[in-house]
């Protein structure tokens, strides 16, 4: 059933800009849609908070915090946030759209993954989290659903909706936020979250990739939480015999129940993951899990890879030739590779060769040319997997495969580390003749762009300059400024001169002009009010409808914005004029007791004054009223009652 058919947002345009095309997914806090940015003509993901939660300031604050936090993480493995705003009851984030699937989809379809595939997914996830940790943020809800795998092979971490600064408590209400299967013991017991809770969750995710199942299960969430507190995560090799012990050690380090026993952040865990990978042979990396062998029993050609696509994962080059430390582990790129070709099968036996020769001779008589086919079939080979290899490694692999390295060209890449192979011609796996040449395209690293100095530019011009520079306009913030004219750019985040990857978003701070104190003009005549506001640098608008008030007709009964605040020079103040007090009928209270008369007049909207004189000092009956009953008087005016 297509759930988008009944979704009221599908087909609408939010904020006059984002056309909602289809619903992608729904969660506890928000629904994600595929949308089109009609201004930039690009497809993006729109995350819209459920309207019922939009009225809750705490949820809105958390939602907006996600936008601000992720916008500060300029990393190729983090889903980028472009914009945040509200349209009526809809609060939304505009984010990068990733066409592909989640790691949960892969695990659901394939079960356990080969060690190479598991590490190729884990490493970019750790690179993304490492960038967040070094910026002072914790994700707190790492799980396979939040790992996106694009159709182009990129791995990205999504949903920083539970992100918080390091060392803050889990939530203001003390509730545990996150998914029970991936919660660290200290999250459960103390509600605190530092980078090591993400390390723990990544250890659980790695266990799940290696075994196809979660380490702790139970009949209820409480049972799972109890196991996190009191039971160690088992070694993956207990479920997958033959799995290298280095991977057992990696899972054990990440999921230690005592936080001080774990790597201190994702960068440290990434270094351990790379160390574990380096100690594994090609055969160990490409070992097919037992259930994958069973699944592929009828189709042996599918055994070369558990995941049916190349997964590009960013890694950084070292800062210099001598720097191979933790910081260098943030942005390198690797790719899930097809295992190397199987060794050539032994040649046919002597009797078999005789049989083939006889068959070939017979077929030649009939003009089939089987002999030519048999001879030529041995003169071809396949291009080996070279992607993400260094130029030297690629040339060595080509030589071992009996091929030549052809022309080498160099190109910028945001996802493939400097010095690594981006692509080959022909592609890996292509069938070519022995000793033919394979052209290589090698990465020059990410193309970086300096943020231009946009101070003083009008907003539209600033956006145009950013795009011409290879960057994207990001969130717009507005501030008062005495130096920068209204509508012009005060500054950018990051600052001018900062280097960023091409395509990164830059936030703009735009001037609201000089701040003006809003004077109080209520009770003034319209002419006087207009003059005072215009002298302050403000514009005046008169509301078409007048209201009844105790003020005389034509005087200012209300103003918006109210006095006491600040507005930008040139802003408009709307004035609502009085049409005088409302005339209402006076009740007849002659003959009533004083208390009853006063109550009746007050209920009708009048003030009451008593006139007792000497004769009415001890009286309790109304003998006369200043406005006779049945006549009309201004609402709020005073009615005098005479008592005898």
Q: State the catalytic residues.
A: 141
**CB under 8 Å to 379, separation ≥6 — which residues?**
433, 434
**CB under 8 Å to 561, separation ≥6 — which residues?**
518, 567, 573
Return the structure tokens found at 536. Answer: 């302050």
Question: 580 in helix, strand or coil?
Answer: coil
CA distances from 393 to 33, 65, 216, 343, 405 (A): 43, 44, 41, 19, 11
Name which of 201, 199, 195 is nearest 216 in CA terms: 201
Could you write out the three-class secondary structure of 519-570? CCCCCCEHHHHHHHHHHCCCEEEECCCCECCCCCCCEEEEEECCCCCEEECC
Q: How many residues does the chain have?
A: 644
Burial code (b: 16+ CB inside 10 Å, e: under 16) for 342-361 equals eeeeeeeeeeeeeeeeeebe
**CB under 8 Å to 552, separation ≥6 — which residues?**
578, 580
Report the distance separating Cα 57 and Cα 180, nearest Å.
26
Name which of 133, 106, 120 is nearest 276 in CA terms: 120
Name which of 635, 607, 633 is nearest 550 in CA terms: 635
Q: 156 has which bridge partners?
A: 148
Rg (CA), the chain: 37
Q: How far apart are the first and last CA of the chain?
A: 83
């Amino acid at each position: 059933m297509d759930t988008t058919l009944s979704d009221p947002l599908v087909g609408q345009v939010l904020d006059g800009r984002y056309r909602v095309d289809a619903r992608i997914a729904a969660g506890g806090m928000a629904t994600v849609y595929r949308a089109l940015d009609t201004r930039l003509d690009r497809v993006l993901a729109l995350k819209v908070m459920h309207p019922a939660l939009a009225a809750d300031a705490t949820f809105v604050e958390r939602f907006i915090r996600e936008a601000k936090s992720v916008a500060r993480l300029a990393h190729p493995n983090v889903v980028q946030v472009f914009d945040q705003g509200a349209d009526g009851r809809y609060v939304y984030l505009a984010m990068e759209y990733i066409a592909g699937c989640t790691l949960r989809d892969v695990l659901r379809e394939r079960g356990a993954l080969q060690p190479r595939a598991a590490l190729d997914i884990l490493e970019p996830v750790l690179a993304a989290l490492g960038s967040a940790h070094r910026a002072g943020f914790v994700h707190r809800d790492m799980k396979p659903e939040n790992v996106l795998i694009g159709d182009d092979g990129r791995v990205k971490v999504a949903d920083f909706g539970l992100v918080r600064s390091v060392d803050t408590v889990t939530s203001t209400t003390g509730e545990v936020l996150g998914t029970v299967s991936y919660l660290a013991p200290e999250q459960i017991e103390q509600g605190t979250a530092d980078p090591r809770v993400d390390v723990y969750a990544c250890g659980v995710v790695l266990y799940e990739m290696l075994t196809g199942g979660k380490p702790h299960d139970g009949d209820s969430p409480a049972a799972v939480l109890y196991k996190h507190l009191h039971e160690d995560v088992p070694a993956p090799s207990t479920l997958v015999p033959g799995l290298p012990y280095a991977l057992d050690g990696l899972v054990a380090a990440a999921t230690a129940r005592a936080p001080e026993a774990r790597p201190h952040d994702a960068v440290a865990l990434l270094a351990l993951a790379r160390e574990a990978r380096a100690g594994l042979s090609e055969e160990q990396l490409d070992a097919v899990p037992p259930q994958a062998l069973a699944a592929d029993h009828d189709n042996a050609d599918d055994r070369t890879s558990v995941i049916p696509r190349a997964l590009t994962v960013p890694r950084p080059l070292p800062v210099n030739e001598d720097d191979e430390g933790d910081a260098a582990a943030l942005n390198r790129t690797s790719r899930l590779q097809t295992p190397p070709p199987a060794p050539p099968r032994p040649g046919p036996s002597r009797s078999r060769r005789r049989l083939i020769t006889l068959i070939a001779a017979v077929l030649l008589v009939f003009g089939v040319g089987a002999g030519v086919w048999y001879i030529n079939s041995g003169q071809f080979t396949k291009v080996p997997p070279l992607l993400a290899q260094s130029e030297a490694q690629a040339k060595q692999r080509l030589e071992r495969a009996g091929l030549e390295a052809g022309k080498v060209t160099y190109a910028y890449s945001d996802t493939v580390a400097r010095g690594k192979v981006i692509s080959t011609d022909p592609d890996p796996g292509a069938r070519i003749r022995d000793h033919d040449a394979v052209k290589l395209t090698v990465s020059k690293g990410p193309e970086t762009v300096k943020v231009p100095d946009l101070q003083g530019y009008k907003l539209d011009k600033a956006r145009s300059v950013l795009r011409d520079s290879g960057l994207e306009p990001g969130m717009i913030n507005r501030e008062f400024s005495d130096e920068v004219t209204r509508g012009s750019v005060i500054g950018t985040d990051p600052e001018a001169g900062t280097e960023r990857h091409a395509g990164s978003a830059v936030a703009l701070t735009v001037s609201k002009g000089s701040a003006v104190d809003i004077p109080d003009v209520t009770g003034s005549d319209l002419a006087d009010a207009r003059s005072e506001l215009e002298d302050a640098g403000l514009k005046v608008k008169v509301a078409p409808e007048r209201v009844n008030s105790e003020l005389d007709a034509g005087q200012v009964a209300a103003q918006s914005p109210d006095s006491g605040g600040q507005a930008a020079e040139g802003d408009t103040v709307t004035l609502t004029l009085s049409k005088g007090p409302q005339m209402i009928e006076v009740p007849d209270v002659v003959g009533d007791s004083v208390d009853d008369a006063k109550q009746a007049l007050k209920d009708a909207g009048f003030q009451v004054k008593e006139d007792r004189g000497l004769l009415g000092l001890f009286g309790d009956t109304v003998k006369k009223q200043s406005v006779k009953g049945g006549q009309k008087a201004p609402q709020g005016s005073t009615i005098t009652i005479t008592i005898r």
